A and B are shown apart, each in its own frame.
Chain A
Amino acid sequence: MIRTLTGWIVAYLVRWLPHSTPTGLFPVGKPDANSPVLITVNFTLTVKRVRRALAKKDAWLLVAHSKGINVWCAAAGGIFTESSIIDAIKISHLSEKVSHREVILPPLSATGVDREAVKQLTGFSCQFGPVYARDIPAYLKAGKNKPDGMRRFDFGLRHRLDMFLPMNFPVYLLVAVVLATVASAQLLGFTALFWLAAAFLYIFIDIIPGKTGWGQAMLSSLFVVFAWVAIDWYTRGNPLEHWGWLVATFFVFFGAGFDIAGTLSSRTSDAERMMQRLKFKRFGSLFVATDEGVVQLEHNKCQGCLNCLEICPVGVFAGLDTSKKMAFKDQEACFACGACVKQCPQNALSLNHA
Chain B
Amino acid sequence: MSSYVYMKILESQPKRYDWGIALLSLGQSLKVKKRIVADNINPGSKVLDIGCGTGTAAILAARAGARVTGFDISMPMLAVAREKIAATSLADRIELIEMGISGMDRFVDASFDVVMSMLVFSELSSDEQAYTLDHAFRILRSGGLLVITDEVKPTTIGKKLLYGIVRIPLLIVTFALTQTKTNAVEGLAERICQTGFLIEREERTALDSFLYLVARKKEE
Q: How far is the CA of A23 from the CA of B125 in the complex (A)?
A: 6
Residues from 53 to 86 in B contacting A, C-beta threshold 8 Å: 73-76
Contact of A87 among B6, B9, B73, B126 (CB under 8 A): B73
Closest to A153 in B: B1
Against A, the Cβ 8 Å flags (1 = close, 0 = not) of B2-46 are: 111111111110001000000000000000000000000000000
Cβ contact within 8 Å between B127 and A91: yes
Question: Which of A179-187, A188-196, A214-222, A258-266 is found at the contact surface with chain B?
Answer: A258-266
Closest to B123 in A: A67
Contact of B125 among A24, A69, A78, A272 (CB under 8 A): A24
For residue A89, which residues in chain B have a CB less than 8 angstroms away from its CB?
Answer: 102
B8 smallest CB distance to A (angstroms): 5
B102 smallest CB distance to A (angstroms): 4
Closest to B127 in A: A24
Contact of B102 among A79, A90, A266, A268 (CB under 8 A): A90
- Counted as pairs of residues, one from A and one from B, with CB atoms less than 8 Å apart, the total is 104
Task: Bin the interface of chain A by size.
Answer: 35 or more
Contact of A73 among B7, B102, B179 (CB under 8 A): B7
In the complex, whether A44 has a CB less than 8 A from a CB of chain B is no
B23 smallest CB distance to A (angstroms): 13
A285-B127 contact in complex given A76-B3, A87-B102, C-beta closer than 8 Å: no
Cβ contact within 8 Å between A262 and B125: no
Cβ contact within 8 Å between B102 and A285: no
Closest to B1 in A: A262
Cβ contact within 8 Å between A259 and B73: no
Query: How many B residues, CB 8 Å from partner?
Result: 34
Cβ contact within 8 Å between A286 and B100: no
Q: Which interface residue of B5, B128, B177 has the most chain A CB atoms within 10 A?
A: B5
Q: How far is the CA of A267 from the CA of B180 in the complex (A)?
A: 29
For residue A268, which residues in chain B have a CB less than 8 angstroms away from its CB?
Answer: 1, 4
A83-B2 contact in complex given A78-B10, A285-B12, A286-B9, C-beta closer than 8 Å: no
In the complex, whether B208 has a CB less than 8 A from a CB of chain A is no
In the complex, whether B101 has a CB less than 8 A from a CB of chain A is yes
For residue B179, which residues in chain A have a CB less than 8 angstroms away from its CB?
Answer: 285
Contact of B73 among A77, A83, A91, A284 (CB under 8 A): A83
B144 smallest CB distance to A (angstroms): 23
Cβ contact within 8 Å between B74 and A78: yes
Closest to B106 in A: A121
In the complex, whether A280 has a CB less than 8 A from a CB of chain B is no
Cβ contact within 8 Å between B75 and A78: yes
Closest to B101 in A: A87
In the complex, whether B149 has a CB less than 8 A from a CB of chain A is no
Cβ contact within 8 Å between B131 and A272: no
A91-B102 contact in complex given A24-B125, A285-B177, C-beta closer than 8 Å: yes
Cβ contact within 8 Å between A77 and B127: no
Q: How far is the CA of A287 from the CA of B60 in the complex (A)?
A: 33
Closest to A258 in B: B2
Q: Is the interface of B mostly helix, strand, loop or mixed?
A: helix
Q: How far is the CA of A71 from the CA of B73 in the complex (A)?
A: 17
Cβ contact within 8 Å between B10 and A259: no
Q: How far is the CA of A290 from the CA of B1 in the complex (A)?
A: 14
Cβ contact within 8 Å between A84 and B73: yes
For residue A92, which residues in chain B have a CB less than 8 angstroms away from its CB?
Answer: 127
Q: How far is the CA of A352 from the CA of B2 in the complex (A)?
A: 21
For residue B98, which residues in chain A have a CB less than 8 angstroms away from its CB?
Answer: 83
Q: How far is the CA of A22 from the CA of B102 in the complex (A)?
A: 17
Q: How far is the CA of A288 from the CA of B125 in the complex (A)?
A: 31
For residue B3, which residues in chain A have a CB less than 8 angstroms away from its CB?
Answer: 70, 72-73, 76, 262
Q: How far is the CA of A271 from the CA of B1 in the complex (A)?
A: 11
Residues from 39 to 89 in A contacting B, C-beta threshold 8 Å: 42, 65, 67, 69-70, 72-74, 76-79, 81, 83-84, 86-87, 89
Closest to A21 in B: B125
Contact of A79 among B10, B101, B126, B178 (CB under 8 A): B10
In the complex, whether B91 has a CB less than 8 A from a CB of chain A is no
A204 smallest CB distance to B (angstroms): 18
Cβ contact within 8 Å between B8 and A262: no
For residue A284, which residues in chain B have a CB less than 8 angstroms away from its CB?
Answer: 177
Contact of A16 among B6, B105, B128 (CB under 8 A): B6
Q: How far is the CA of A282 from the CA of B124 in the complex (A)?
A: 32
In the complex, whether A317 has a CB less than 8 A from a CB of chain B is no
A286-B8 contact in complex given A23-B128, A83-B98, A86-B102, C-beta closer than 8 Å: yes
B121 smallest CB distance to A (angstroms): 13
Q: Which interface residue of A67, A87, A266 has the most chain B CB atoms within 10 A?
A: A87
Contact of B11 among A24, A77, A269 (CB under 8 A): A77
Cβ-closest 8 pairs across A and B: A77-B10, A90-B102, A87-B100, A263-B2, A262-B2, A83-B100, A23-B125, A87-B102
Residues in B lying within 8 Å of A, measured CB to CB? 1-12, 16, 73-76, 98-103, 105, 123-128, 131, 177-179
Could you jot down 18 A-B contacts, CB within 8 Å?
A42-B125, A65-B128, A72-B3, A73-B3, A74-B10, A77-B11, A81-B73, A83-B73, A83-B99, A87-B102, A91-B102, A91-B131, A263-B1, A268-B1, A271-B5, A272-B4, A285-B9, A337-B1
Q: List 8 extra interface pairs beyond A78-B75, A87-B102, A285-B12, CB under 8 A.
A: A23-B128, A65-B125, A84-B100, A86-B102, A167-B2, A269-B1, A285-B177, A288-B12
